[in-house]
Amino acid sequence: MIPKWKNIAGWIFRILAAVIMLQTLFFKFTAAPESVYIFSKLGMEPWGRIGIGILELIASILLLIPYTVAYGAVLGLGLMSGALFFHLTRLGIVVQDDSGQLFIYALMVFISCLVAAIIYSAQILRLFPFTKDKLL
């Protein structure tokens, strides 16, 4: 059982990550100009935009279901690693004069998912049918 303070912290980080990812879905799924610009620059328009939007939706749902938090957190970490990578290599921190807002959101989701993955790491470990004793 998770201590109360960890449970509260876990919910805060889970909700933060899910809300940010869910909020960006509107722009991805409606082909907002900034979203189309980003994925065009990456050579991933439109399928990358739609596919990543679907994966972010799945990650958000998994983060909000108590038994699947860790899986959503790991998926969110992967997605935000990609977003941060492309911001640092091809897009730049500031995209179309957004003052770095998208980069900051990606960083906030990454950190939130990392904390959630750590707090709910027992869920990840349950995927593996072995224990430390069997490894030695």
Per residue in 104-125, pLDDT tens?
999 999 999 999 999 999 898 8
* Dist CA 122 CA 19 (whole Å): 24
Residues 6 or more apart whose CB falls under 8 angstroms from that of 65 comprise 72
Span 36-50, mean pLDDT?
A: 97
| Termini Cα distance of the chain | 27
**The pTM is what?**
0.91
Give residue-wise pLDDT tens across range 81-92.
999 999 999 999
pLDDT at residue 134 above 60?
no
Judged by DSSP in three states, 113 sits in helix
Q: For residue 60, with 0-12 CB atoms within 10 Å meaning exposed, 13-18 middle and 19 or more buried, which class applies?
A: buried
